[in-house]
Chains A and B, each alone.
Chain A
Amino acid sequence: MIKLHIDGQEAEAEEGQTILDAAKGLGIEIPTLCHHRAIPPVGACRVCVVEIRDGGRPGLVPACAYPAQEGLVVETASEAVRESRSMTIQLLLARCPEAEVLRKLAEQWDAPPLTLDAPLDHVEPPKGVPEGAGDRDKCILCGLCVRVCQDIIGPAATAFAGRGIERKVTTPYKLLSDVCIGCGACALVCPTGAIDPAEFCSHSIEKIPNEFNLGFDTRTPIHLPFPQAVPNKPILDRENCIHFRTGGCGACETICPAGAIDLEMEDEIVEEEVGAIIVATGYELLDPSVYEEYGYGRYPDVVTSLEFERLVSASGPTNGELTRPSNGEPPKSIVFLQCIGSREETGPGKPYCSKICCMYTAKHAILYKHKVHDGQAFVFFMDVRAGGKNYEEFVRRVSKEKVATYLRGRVSKIFPHDGKLVVQGADTLSGGQVEIAADMVVLAAAVVPSKGATELAQKLRISYDQHGFLSEAHPKLRPVETNTAGIFLAGACHSAKDIPDSVAQASAAASKALGLVVHDRLTREPTIGIVNELTCNGCFECENVCAYGAISPKDIKDRSGATVAVLANINEGLCQGCGACMVTCRSKSIEVQGYTDNQLFSEINAITR
């Protein structure tokens, strides 16, 4: 271990570490610009200069590049350091007055802007590059982008060109680059935000819509799926990752300090034996674009309730600032439409009530008023169905306190006019037509089961209704069980329900599942098949029809141990008692207990008497 002194404190460093690393170990912050942990230092920007007092050749050295040596005595904020750093920042700021990071450094290190007699000449942008591209005003020529592209990513798409005040980072001959893979590592490492590969990459770089924010903003291939994700770890989206698309990049693997990324990793199928399954596949919203009259999908300011939820969320695309998607202005008037696709007996909608919309619309009205104090909110409703503890009171407060104006009726048409959306509807209580010029319209679309829920149900052998909601074993007496033993339901996969109901059902499902798995032995229905070995022919057509592989050959032996016949045998642990084998057996040599032929004949005889 190397020992040295920094600002009068004793610091430790390992072989190969720099003064910067050693200072970081003490919690001493040294400003850097051209330094990146993953890239070998070159000491280009000189913001990180420190003074060596003793133990080496005295003078100013870049902390990021100078190796920690035994016995060094270093000052990180001495007079000489301050003077030098302030000058460096002043010069950089004079070159790049737009760079936010420099402005902050200037404030911190007392570096007032230099006044120039004449502005710097503008240098022509590269040929073929769009006008205004390559914001030279922010580039401090530290070369970090050049080094990351060359040393870590590999293609070396950019380099320095020109001399003196014409020196700049650009592509060869200032042409669009074919070798650039559009990975964005240069933009990631650039301290001032001066570089954007979209401006010189010859391939189109597509922005990836952020699914969680319903496409209102974009995300990178490595991202957190949503803010409260469990586990709260980023995931890599293989389809959009440059590495998996081009074989290049892989910068994340190098840069990650924890070494947590392994790009060689393959998807694997994990098999687990379980004693119970809880299905909680949730819901999604009916796509309201099926209703052309509301213009969803055509007018950007017509959004679904879930989209509104993202737009007002503090963790959403606008950081909680409610703005119109069309122009970013706050909506001064908003109209909420309820029952979009719910309680509809004909047409593309659903006949059931989606149950949660009355409550969340009232909540949305309150949220809207919190964001836009002088805004006006209207709600078109069919009936307010607020059955639940304190629900009715909540809705009444929203309506009584004029948070929103409740209009009983349906909307027939929405069309854009003069930058607004004109909402035409009926107010059946006053008996008149209403027309509202709104900035935004929120559609409370019907709750529908998640895509793929029915396919899952078919795999699990559980039943579902015509809408795709999974069926409980009994609507009153077994509301969380399915017909298949050991499989339970929780939440909106079963029917539209709100959070308290979902939590209640989930708790019930969990306790049912626990009740099943805590026992050492499984209690089974006794209705399983038994073979009559006296009459079985051993044709094994039963084996062919058995969906559970419960039937297998059994050797029948005589006293001497010689096999005299090979007959069907039913594994009572596997048999589910469906009876397909009984029907297939021509000699009637299998009986399913509880549904024997004798019993069924007696039933037939009794009801035809």
Chain B
Amino acid sequence: MTEKKTTAAQRDGTDWQPRIVAFLCNWCSYAGADLAGMSRNDYPAAIKIVRLPCSGRVDPMFVLKSFERGADMVLVSGCHPGDCHYSSGNYHARRKLPAFRELLGFMGIDPRRFKISWVSAAEGNKWSSLVADITEEAYALGPFQEFPKCTAPEKTG
């Protein structure tokens, strides 16, 4: 994984590193990430984690807010369907978040920059390989500039 990072940076010829904001539910994905750490599984440091009680707690506007603030990618991860600690939070997330991604895509915001995943508390390995994969994709997509930088009023025709 460290190797991948180096190659991507070399490819760009910069030391740019993507910034990935991850919203993890406390019971499955956060515990899964914790397990990855405890199992000494390596994964890229580009990901920054916000812990929430549940993936159903992720307001879609958090995603937009993260992009506004300069995130290059956003990940929301929760329990697998049927396993939600709160019984249905991830089912609500499964309706709202993909719909929000559709809306972003419709408005020209690359939906590949918004990831949704299910990682259980026992899937430390899945977590580290998932983070490695999406980090690699974030390198490939490059910096997400349009959004945070579009504060100046533009003249348009």
Binding between chains A and B: yes
Question: Once the chains bind, are B56 and A608 in contact (CB under 8 Å)?
Answer: no
Contact partner of B85 (CB less than 8 A), chosen from A483, A600, A604, is A483
Partner-binding segment picked from A98-106, A436-444, A578-586: A578-586
A493 CB to nearest B CB, Å: 14
Contact with B along A589-609 (1 / 0, CB 8 A): 000100101001101110111
Question: Once the chains bind, are A608 and B66 in contact (CB under 8 Å)?
Answer: yes
Q: A483-B27, A607-B21 are in contact. Are A600 and B122 (CB under 8 A)?
A: no
Question: Once the chains bind, are B86 and A583 in contact (CB under 8 Å)?
Answer: no
A225 CB to nearest B CB, Å: 32
Which of chain B's residues have a CB closer than 8 A to the CB of A595?
52-53, 57
Q: Check if B71 is an interface residue, CB within 8 A of chain A.
A: yes
Partner-binding segment picked from A248-256, A404-412, A464-472: A464-472
Question: Once the chains bind, are A583 and B21 in contact (CB under 8 Å)?
Answer: no
Contact with A along B23-44 (1 / 0, CB 8 A): 0000110010001001000000
Q: Check if A132 is an interface residue, CB within 8 A of chain B.
A: no
Question: Once the chains bind, are A475 and B35 in contact (CB under 8 Å)?
Answer: yes
Q: A463-B85, A483-B27, A604-B62 are in contact. Are A580 and B35 (CB under 8 A)?
A: no
Q: Check if A461 is an interface residue, CB within 8 A of chain B.
A: yes
Q: A580-B54, A600-B50 are in contact. Are A547 and B88 (CB under 8 A)?
A: yes
Q: A463-B28, A601-B65, A608-B21 are in contact. Are A580 and B89 (CB under 8 A)?
A: yes
Q: Check if B79 is an interface residue, CB within 8 A of chain A.
A: yes
Q: Check if B96 is an interface residue, CB within 8 A of chain A.
A: yes
Contact partner of B59 (CB less than 8 A), chosen from A471, A476, A583, A609, is A583
Which of chain A's residues have a CB closer than 8 A to the CB of B120?
463, 465-466, 471
A572 CB to nearest B CB, Å: 15
Q: A458-B82, A578-B89 are in contact. Are A608 and B121 (CB under 8 A)?
A: no
Question: Once the chains bind, are B58 and A583 in contact (CB under 8 Å)?
Answer: yes
Which among A579, A595, A603 has the highest number of chain B CB atoms within 10 Å? Answer: A579
Contact with B along A448-485 (1 / 0, CB 8 A): 00000000001001011110000100011000000110
Question: Once the chains bind, are A607 and B48 in contact (CB under 8 Å)?
Answer: yes
Q: Check if B83 is an interface residue, CB within 8 A of chain A.
A: yes
CA distance A466 to B125 in the complex (A): 12
Which of chain A's residues have a CB closer than 8 A to the CB of B87?
461, 547
Which of chain A's residues have a CB closer than 8 A to the CB of B89?
547, 578-580
With both beta carbons as reference points, the residue of chain B lying nearest to A578 in the complex is identified as B86
Q: Give the total of A residues in contact with B, Cβ under 8 Å.
A: 34
Which of chain A's residues have a CB closer than 8 A to the CB of B112?
none
Question: Once the chains bind, are B38 and A578 in contact (CB under 8 Å)?
Answer: no
CA distance A545 to B96 in the complex (A): 12
Question: Once the chains bind, are B57 and A483 in contact (CB under 8 Å)?
Answer: no
Which of chain B's residues have a CB closer than 8 A to the CB of A604?
21, 50, 62, 65-66, 69
CA distance A595 to B58 in the complex (A): 11
Question: Once the chains bind, are B123 and A579 in contact (CB under 8 Å)?
Answer: no
CA distance A583 to B52 in the complex (A): 12
Q: Check if A527 is an interface residue, CB within 8 A of chain B.
A: yes
With both beta carbons as reference points, the residue of chain B lying nearest to A583 in the complex is identified as B59
Question: Once the chains bind, are A466 and B21 in contact (CB under 8 Å)?
Answer: no
Which of chain B's residues have a CB closer than 8 A to the CB of A582?
57, 59
B85 CB to nearest A CB, Å: 6
CA distance A464 to B56 in the complex (A): 20
Describe A's contact surface by its main secondary structure: loop
Which of chain A's residues have a CB closer than 8 A to the CB of B86?
461, 547-548, 576, 578, 580
With both beta carbons as reference points, the residue of chain B lying nearest to A597 in the complex is identified as B59
Which of chain A's residues have a CB closer than 8 A to the CB of B28?
463
Question: Once the chains bind, are B31 and A476 in contact (CB under 8 Å)?
Answer: no
CA distance A504 to B59 in the complex (A): 43
Question: Once the chains bind, are A578 and B31 in contact (CB under 8 Å)?
Answer: no
Which of chain B's residues have a CB closer than 8 A to the CB of A475?
35, 38
Q: Check if A317 is an interface residue, CB within 8 A of chain B.
A: no
CA distance A463 to B83 in the complex (A): 6
Q: Which of A522-553 contact B (CB under 8 A)?
A: 527, 545, 547-548
Q: A458-B82, A463-B79, A600-B62 are in contact. Are A579 and B35 (CB under 8 A)?
A: no
Question: Once the chains bind, are B69 and A578 in contact (CB under 8 Å)?
Answer: no
Contact partner of A578 (CB less than 8 A), chosen from B50, B57, B62, is B57
Q: A463-B27, A603-B50 are in contact. Are A608 and B38 (CB under 8 A)?
A: no
Q: Check if A577 is an interface residue, CB within 8 A of chain B.
A: yes
Question: Once the chains bind, are B122 and A466 in contact (CB under 8 Å)?
Answer: yes
Which of chain B's residues have a CB closer than 8 A to the CB of A484?
85
Q: Which of B70-87 contact A (CB under 8 A)?
A: 70-71, 79, 82-87
Contact partner of A476 (CB less than 8 A), chosen from B38, B48, B57, B83, is B38
Q: A463-B79, A578-B53 are in contact. Are A608 and B70 (CB under 8 A)?
A: yes
**What residues make up the interface of B, taking CB atoms closer than 8 Å to A?**
19, 21, 27-28, 31, 35, 38, 48, 50, 52-54, 56-60, 62, 65-66, 69-71, 79, 82-89, 92, 96, 120-123
List, sorted by A's number, 13 A–B pairs whose CB atoms are closer than 8 Å: A461-B87, A463-B85, A465-B122, A466-B122, A483-B85, A545-B56, A547-B88, A580-B54, A580-B56, A580-B88, A583-B56, A607-B48, A609-B69
A-B contact sample (19 more), CB < 8 A, given A471-B120, A600-B50, A607-B50: A458-B82, A458-B83, A461-B87, A463-B121, A464-B83, A471-B31, A483-B31, A527-B53, A576-B86, A577-B53, A578-B57, A578-B85, A580-B89, A583-B57, A583-B60, A595-B57, A600-B52, A601-B65, A603-B50
**What residues make up the interface of A, taking CB atoms closer than 8 Å to B?**
458, 461, 463-466, 471, 475-476, 483-484, 527, 545, 547-548, 576-580, 582-584, 592, 595, 597, 600-601, 603-605, 607-609
